[in-house]
Chain A
């Protein structure tokens, strides 16, 4: 049976979901960026803002200069997660095989759904309509016989619209497009191709496979397939390793260690509280630092024993932190992940000291207070460096 793949992309996702909550934002230049920080960058922008020349990654100050009445919203990951879930729920009515990509984007395998929803293009239009009516969002939809072409199709018709690439038309559809439309053709490849005077997909497609593999090795085969609109990758629902993750972006970048430690402790507290809520223990932690200039460093560490308590996990996190912090540049954000999760096992009383027991009692008291009065109701004094 002929494959049919659909790519759904919510237009200006982060900004649009905000506009759903706050309709006055519609039709206005809106960006998402950290507002408090002095040199923050634009995370996402509405099409109105893009028309003023603003793009993702631009310093907020510059964006403000380009557009006087720019509306700036803070990033809101939980809202994005929520909206993405709503989108996936809606899409699950059309296909059982859905592969979400980032917030607000997903592939659907529509193979064999013709009898239920009509032609793939009809189904796409229906999905667009439902997204508009039920979620109050706009979406672009690309329909094709594989993931690659459906994604490119959707990119081509941005910000709104539906592009249906008929079976057999893949190559003809791609050929006039610049090579950067192909996923995975990043800066380096783009430059290499430009040196060879290859700028459009049709020019790439003209190069015989043997020539391409001589140049790009294994990747040559893939490039060759892509340039011809061939992509055998299946739509794959996610298989995720369970992981508890907490991240925080500092209100203002800093390289002061007491402040960074306080943030780290807070992340450990939050992550451990979630562990306890879900009756889990973690055996491994990962830590990621992001500096002012966008440089990221990551580290992982295996814990001596699985735990769900911050007084056991934080010291390890601090060690990883000391290891990672090698530059003088200010830090913008931290992310702490807890992995290799396993169900909570009661520790044998034999090994737990009265000290430990006291601590655990203290922590469960803290948890209860927070459950009742909120996250910020109570803090350790040393995290006050943050306020």
Chain B
């Protein structure tokens, strides 16, 4: 066992400083046979929980600490106990939240159970004189001047300790450290100030090397071990952490919950059936025993703040949530598996996710913070990491490449490809075929691979909120996100592992779509739909629409893959929609096909009779997460807790080792039950298809219900629905694609108009009016001014009238003119003349207050009559339409190529099904594309195109993908040649050739 312990170590959780992961550091320390290892990241414990786990795997005793530093102060703090940790957390919080933070003062406020290491005499002196010298150490590092510090220590009777100030494991990683510093400082290598860099010697030295380096002061080395022994303690925040709660007049939480549940059950069911009562009692008993009543009550209270919410995730399996109005699917009726949400054996806290309309969520959050106290609440953070594209960009900037040159490479690296190696990507991927990578690109790409996945900063988790008893900073350091929200230093997984109970309050666009559509329907047609009572699940028209896959714009089921599946299955009832929205997962294609085959009456032999027994509805094919758990229990004898762990590990990222353990166990258990190995391999493969993301049935059922509501609106009120879909943005498709769809639905698209348009899109009967929001480069505030003035003083009478009443930037008025918004209000002038008026007005009277007095002389300021200018020709008008709106609304872009198309022998996409098995040519405008990988890890792509008659789906198998993918863009038409393939009655095009039209 070595005598030296590293007490000052930075991992990559010291953002843009440490050059190694926690795993790499622990592995290196273990290789030196060190008994202890400290992790002291800069100003945070960002990786603490992760470190505790990894250290354990390497048989290291983890030491908890951090380096706290400001512009001119620094010290390493190590915790001797849980109380020491609480103090560290408070100090770190102060470091981030207090602008006038002083290190020594902060330590003096929370001094208990902390060991302080520093090389700054002023800090050491102050602390030692106030706290005594027991836990204050002078930090000595190899390669840094030592004599002065030794003298100082002796003079003041302080002990000293050796550290390596580790910033990287191997000396060669210095380059990575320097690169990270340059990125963080927006600098180049040689413009990086010395003080921003750790010394070249700050690597994880061997114990021998440290002893050697401090041979003159051996106690500096022996002290490391002494400190380590003092600082070894079992870290634990003490189980589930959640705020206590009691009902009105001090009613105990559980009693109150019970009362609310029964009231809720009456509201949901009227007379409470016996099955419901039993289930309710069962759930309540578990909740009582686990002490989770406050959690449900808090969520209940938050959900009450908004009229339209959707509780989702496993919580929807709970009758308690249903009765409380947190979730809206009846778990008894739809047979939702409560144990997926809570069970007696499970160690982790419950997790309820609630969706709010995206534009109402911030208010709900704000209410929550105010209600439970700002100090007791915070949001979970995200650790933003360097992905391939960002890494390449940042590194190239350090190398001083101009933006255009960086774009040349980085634009092709889509941020979504989780390319583990950019070097390989660039060298082998067909999208980079014509791209040169002269020096320094090879260096840049190599380094990008090296820092791939490094955390670089915190951001705010989309919805995770923690509410604790007392102050959040007593559990985990708190920072302030740029948008002014308090966030904790841990991301979701670490927070959960530490025992912090989170509530997810998420934004959902479709709830806003439904809200807006309902509002419009009431406004235009006087039809009022009561959201709370509204149940469209049995509506035949909606079911037909879903069975046809006519679901563009419909929540959750609008992707091309989902629509294809709907068309193949030809089912539109709620139960099947729940299955289908769950079975659509990456990596599950083979099972989807088999499912459809079986659904359509295909004969099959189940892999194992147990599967058929567990999953009769899906013909023995695993669809939901809980199916995995149930199979593990039935087939391999897992208990409920183990089965649930297996389910969880499948969806986590760093899991290889644990998954291996479970596989072993699964095989052993199943083999012991005489399941054949071959069968088992197939079942395990099916289980692995749940890697990455997958869904549980309660979640799918909750979402399918929202899908149904939006599908109902699409079926009965298409204009209002499409207007709401486009106005809320953020759907799966582009606005252009939705407009095309609206045309196919028989809606007339009306152009933007200064008097007729609102900011958002508006639809009614058979028309859809483009909203002014579509006009590019006009600010939101300007649009609000325009609408506000119109509402107050009536429609605009002319362009002059408009210019007099609304003061916005002339460039914005020009955009509106070019978009045609003034064509109807100013029929006597053509667009160039209108632009003339705007421009002369801008140059003559740049600032003129809109006072009423001046209106008397208004004409004087309106500028003279514009000269005769020719109107734009047709081509120009189309170009401007494209420029100002982003796409054409007056006609389909393919119509412009009609002449060229006439010479080709294309078939209309609408007729694709008539050409099954034949080779055809089709015109295509790209709508959306989705990259996929074959079993052999080759890239392929599913691409949706449309022509003027229909939307259709095309497949680029690896060969075609390699040859043509670089040609595809959303800005020009194509001529596709390929074979029409049919599966379950749905025709798709297998592309063989792509040409520009």
Cβ contacts under 8 Å, B186 to chain A:
328
Q: A197-B876, A328-B188 are in contact. Are A214 and B401 (CB under 8 A)?
A: no
Q: A195-B814, A211-B867 are in contact. Are A292 and B836 (CB under 8 A)?
A: no
Partner of A328, one of B187, B436, B876: B187
Judged by a CB distance under 8 angstroms, whether B685 is at the interface is no
Chain B nearest Cβ from A264, distance in angstroms: 15
Residues of chain A from 178 to 221 with CB closer than 8 A to chain B in the complex:
192, 195-198, 203, 206-208, 210-211, 214-215, 217
Q: Give 1 or 0 for each of A294-334: 1 = CB within 8 Å of chain B CB.
A: 00000000000000000000000000000000001110000
Interface pair A329/B402, CB less than 8 Å apart: yes
Q: How far is the CA of A292 from the CA of B876 in the complex (A)?
A: 35
Q: A38-B439, A195-B814 are in contact. Are A214 and B843 (CB under 8 A)?
A: yes
Interface pair A214/B864, CB less than 8 Å apart: yes
> Of A19-27, A97-105, A251-259, A375-383, which binds chain B?
A251-259
Interface pair B836/A257, CB less than 8 Å apart: no
Q: Give 1 or 0 for each of B397-409: 1 = CB within 8 Å of chain A CB.
A: 1111111110000
Cβ contacts under 8 Å, A129 to chain B:
none
Judged by a CB distance under 8 angstroms, whether A92 is at the interface is no
Residues of chain B from 806 to 839 with CB closer than 8 A to chain A in the complex:
814, 818, 831-832, 835-836, 839
Cβ contacts under 8 Å, B439 to chain A:
38
Q: Give 1 or 0 for each of B833-865: 1 = CB within 8 Å of chain A CB.
A: 001100110011000000000000000000110
Judged by a CB distance under 8 angstroms, whether B190 is at the interface is yes
Interface pair B840/A214, CB less than 8 Å apart: yes
Q: How far is the CA of A100 from the CA of B244 in the complex (A)?
A: 87
Q: How far is the CA of A38 from the CA of B405 in the complex (A)?
A: 11
Q: How far is the CA of A254 from the CA of B405 in the complex (A)?
A: 14
Judged by a CB distance under 8 angstroms, whether A293 is at the interface is yes
Cβ contacts under 8 Å, B405 to chain A:
39, 292-293
Chain B nearest Cβ from A245, distance in angstroms: 25
Judged by a CB distance under 8 angstroms, whether A61 is at the interface is yes
Judged by a CB distance under 8 angstroms, whether A291 is at the interface is yes
Residues of chain A from 350 to 380 with CB closer than 8 A to chain B in the complex:
none
Q: How far is the CA of A210 from the CA of B867 in the complex (A)?
A: 10
Cβ contacts under 8 Å, B397 to chain A:
328
Residue of B nearest to A211 (CB): B867
Cβ contacts under 8 Å, B839 to chain A:
192, 196, 215
Interface pair B188/A255, CB less than 8 Å apart: yes
Chain B nearest Cβ from A141, distance in angstroms: 35
Chain A nearest Cβ from B400, distance in angstroms: 3
Interface pair A328/B438, CB less than 8 Å apart: no
Interface pair A292/B400, CB less than 8 Å apart: yes
Cβ contacts under 8 Å, B403 to chain A:
293
Q: How far is the CA of A201 from the CA of B871 in the complex (A)?
A: 17
Residue of B nearest to A257 (CB): B190
Residue of B nearest to A291 (CB): B402
Partner of B191, one of A207, A257, A291: A257
Judged by a CB distance under 8 angstroms, whether B869 is at the interface is yes
Interface pair B398/A328, CB less than 8 Å apart: yes
Residue of A nearest to B870 (CB): A197
Residue of A nearest to B868 (CB): A206
Q: How far is the CA of A257 from the CA of B190 in the complex (A)?
A: 7
Q: A196-B835, A197-B871 are in contact. Are A211 and B404 (CB under 8 A)?
A: no
Interface pair A61/B191, CB less than 8 Å apart: no
Judged by a CB distance under 8 angstroms, whether B872 is at the interface is yes
Interface pair A328/B836, CB less than 8 Å apart: no
Residues of chain A from 71 to 107 with CB closer than 8 A to chain B in the complex:
none
Cβ contacts under 8 Å, B189 to chain A:
256
Size of the chain A interface, CB-CB below 8 angstroms: 29
Q: How far is the CA of A196 from the CA of B863 in the complex (A)?
A: 16
Size of the chain B interface, CB-CB below 8 angstroms: 38
Cβ contacts under 8 Å, A214 to chain B:
840, 843-844, 863-864
Q: A215-B836, A256-B190 are in contact. Are A330 and B400 (CB under 8 A)?
A: yes
Interface pair A293/B402, CB less than 8 Å apart: yes
Partner of A197, one of B398, B402, B864, B872: B872
Q: How far is the CA of A215 from the CA of B843 in the complex (A)?
A: 6
Cβ contacts under 8 Å, B869 to chain A:
196-198
Interface pair A38/B832, CB less than 8 Å apart: no
Chain A nearest Cβ from B823, distance in angstroms: 15
Cβ contacts under 8 Å, A254 to chain B:
400
In the complex, how many residue pairs between chain A and chain B have their CB atoms under 8 Å apart? 79
Chain B nearest Cβ from A386, distance in angstroms: 16
Partner of B843, one of A39, A217, A256, A291: A217
Residue of B nearest to A293 (CB): B402
Interface pair B400/A196, CB less than 8 Å apart: no
Interface pair A258/B832, CB less than 8 Å apart: no
Cβ contacts under 8 Å, B831 to chain A:
197
Partner of B399, one of A197, A255, A258: A255
Q: How far is the CA of A258 from the CA of B190 in the complex (A)?
A: 9
Q: Give 1 or 0 for each of B863-887: 1 = CB within 8 Å of chain A CB.
A: 1101111111000100000000000
Q: A192-B839, A257-B190, A258-B190 are in contact. Are A207 and B400 (CB under 8 A)?
A: no
Cβ contacts under 8 Å, A38 to chain B:
438-439
Cβ contacts under 8 Å, A257 to chain B:
190-191
Partner of B400, one of A192, A197, A217, A328: A328
Q: A211-B864, A214-B843 are in contact. Are A330 and B402 (CB under 8 A)?
A: yes
Cβ contacts under 8 Å, B401 to chain A:
292, 329-330
Residue of B nearest to A255 (CB): B400
Residues of chain A from 205 to 264 with CB closer than 8 A to chain B in the complex:
206-208, 210-211, 214-215, 217, 253-258
Cβ contacts under 8 Å, A217 to chain B:
843
Cβ contacts under 8 Å, B866 to chain A:
211
Interface pair B836/A196, CB less than 8 Å apart: yes
Chain A nearest Cβ from B162, distance in angstroms: 35
Q: Give 1 or 0 for each of B167-195: 1 = CB within 8 Å of chain A CB.
A: 00000000000000000001111110000
Interface pair A197/B832, CB less than 8 Å apart: yes
Chain B nearest Cβ from A12, distance in angstroms: 27
Chain A nearest Cβ from B837, distance in angstroms: 10
Q: How far is the CA of A253 from the CA of B436 in the complex (A)?
A: 17
Chain A nearest Cβ from B368, distance in angstroms: 43
Q: How far is the CA of A253 from the CA of B866 in the complex (A)?
A: 51
Chain A nearest Cβ from B941, distance in angstroms: 27
Cβ contacts under 8 Å, B840 to chain A:
211, 214-215
Residue of A nearest to B818 (CB): A195
From A215, A292, A293, A328, residue with most partner B Cβ within 10 Å: A328
Q: How far is the CA of A195 from the CA of B839 in the complex (A)?
A: 10
Q: How far is the CA of A292 from the CA of B404 in the complex (A)?
A: 10
Residue of B nearest to A330 (CB): B400
Chain B nearest Cβ from A334, distance in angstroms: 15
Q: How far is the CA of A208 from the CA of B865 in the complex (A)?
A: 12
Q: How far is the CA of A14 from the CA of B831 in the complex (A)?
A: 45
Interface pair A208/B402, CB less than 8 Å apart: no
Interface pair B402/A292, CB less than 8 Å apart: yes
Residue of A nearest to B836 (CB): A196
Residue of B nearest to A198 (CB): B869
Chain A nearest Cβ from B196, distance in angstroms: 15
Interface pair B867/A207, CB less than 8 Å apart: yes
Q: Give 1 or 0 for each of B768-801: 1 = CB within 8 Å of chain A CB.
A: 0000000000000000000000000000000000
Chain A nearest Cβ from B874, distance in angstroms: 13
A and B contact pairs by CB, cutoff 8 A, 28 listed: A195-B818, A196-B835, A196-B839, A197-B831, A197-B869, A197-B870, A197-B871, A197-B872, A198-B832, A198-B869, A203-B870, A210-B864, A211-B836, A214-B843, A215-B836, A255-B188, A256-B188, A256-B190, A257-B190, A258-B190, A291-B402, A292-B400, A292-B405, A293-B405, A328-B187, A328-B397, A330-B399, A330-B401
Which 7 A-B pairs give the minimum distances between C-beta atoms?
A: A293-B402, A255-B400, A330-B400, A197-B832, A292-B402, A214-B840, A38-B438
Q: Could you list 20 further interchain pairs (A-B, Cβ under 8 angstroms) beyond the known A39-B405, A197-B872, A292-B400?
A: A38-B439, A195-B835, A196-B839, A197-B869, A198-B869, A206-B867, A210-B864, A211-B864, A214-B863, A215-B840, A253-B400, A255-B188, A256-B190, A292-B402, A293-B402, A293-B404, A329-B400, A329-B401, A329-B402, A330-B402
